[in-house]
Amino acid sequence: MFLERRHLEALAALRDRGSLSAAADQLHLTASALSHQILSLEERAGASFFLRKTRPVQFTAVGQRLLALADDILPKVREAERDLIRLAGIGEGRLHIAIECHSCYQWLMPTLARYRLDWPEVALDLSAGFNFDALPALVRGELDMVITSDPRQRQPIVYFPLFQHEVVLAVPRQHPLVRKGFVEPQDLAGETLVTYPVDRDRLDIFNSFLDPAGVVPAGTRTAELTVMILQLVASGRGVAMMPNWALAEAGPGDSVVGVRVGQEGKFGTLYAATTTPLVDKAYLQDFLRTARETSFATLRGISAVAVATAAPE
């Protein structure tokens, strides 16, 4: 037998993501590794599964047959895995999550909706970690997971990367910085900066961009929601730094665009933090998998990072 579960997952990811590189991101592989995996399977099958150099990917009759098999088999495998865990009596648990990411609702809410259906026996709860320090609460056992882009080394916290993204400066489409192509710290000296209402020392635009250059913006203002920030930007009342995928909340009209931060760009990673005693819980690991799958199905402009079980250096 030469057909394995990973082969079906590879073809399904290729169909869903539309390219080898995007599918490789979803599967946490390099594009060359995924290409080699598919080529090896094609050689053993004696047939091609899709037409090369087509966008979107066009599958052959053989590829379509395998995709039909993937759509039938993969959900059943995951369901069987969850049933085995329940039968073993280890499926019940608690998953109390705090988020330190104002833009995360775009992918988190569909993740939670799907997860509740898959794990009805897990006590799931969600709170905003904007007004308290969530990581110490995680250490004390008051929380089971924190969604954060600001990992801090602290025992017994373990960080799992969800996805990587570029951080951009949201500006009105007619802003002069759009023509420049990227923003430098001094470009913000005459701008009003719109941020979320969190402590200044927790805002990356100050910590790693403006403060090291000794630049102070002309003014600041806050807004609770991403959509409110984007409306302020669209109306010319400020600029804001945010993940590239959050710009999708600007809605139709493209009145707000993202400008690269620095000539080389600025990138961030979103993590799910938990503690060592919870790492091996099946329901927690399945939440991570569901979160990654939903993120890549929902968001544009993100990429995968190697799955790790330790705090980043």
**CA–CA separation, 51 vs 55, rounded Å?**
9
pLDDT tens digits along 59-80? 999 999 999 999 899 888 887 8
Alpha-carbon distance 241 to 247, whole Å? 10
Q: Note whether 79 and 120 are within 8 A (CB).
A: no
303: tokens are 């990429």
- Tell me what the pLDDT averaged over the chain comes to: 88
Give the residue-averaged pLDDT of 195-220: 92
Which CATH architecture fits 93-313? 3-Layer(aba) Sandwich (3.40)
Tens digits of per-residue pLDDT, 86-126? 666 666 789 999 998 888 888 999 999 999 988 988 999 99
Say whether the peptide bond before residue 156 is cis (omega within 30 degrees of 0). Answer: yes
Alpha helices (H) in 125-262, listed in sequence order: 134-139, 176-180, 204-205, 226-234
Look at 13 and 26; give whichever has higher pLDDT. 13
Q: Containing H/E element for 296? A: helix 282-298
Cα gap 240→155, rounded to integer Å: 34
Q: How far apart are CA 273 and CA 20, in angstroms?
A: 29
Residue 2 has pLDDT above 90, yes or no: no
Q: Are 129 and 146 in contact (CB under 8 A)?
A: yes
> Nearest to residue 75, comparing CAs of 175, 8, 158?
8
Supply 95's token pair.
Answer: 């998953």
CA atoms within 13 A on the CB side of 147: 25
- For residue 299, which of 242, 219, 260 has the smallest C-alpha distance? 242
Which residues, 6 or more positions from 62, have their beta carbon under 8 angstroms from its beta carbon?
Answer: 45, 47, 48, 49
CB 25 within 8 A of CB 162: no
User: Looking at the domain that runs over 5-87, which CATH code has it been given?
Assistant: 1.10.10.10
Q: Provide the token pair at 28.
A: 């946490």
CA distance 67 to 57: 13
Question: Phi first, then psi: what are they for 203, rounded to 5°?
Answer: -100, 120
- Cβ partners under 8 Å of residue 75, min gap 6: none
Tell me what pLDDT residue 31 has: 87
Going from N- to C-terminal start, the domains of the chain cover 5-87, 93-313
Output the pTM of the full model.
Answer: 0.76
pLDDT digits (tens, 9 = 90+) for 273-313: 999 999 988 899 999 989 998 998 888 888 887 544 444 43
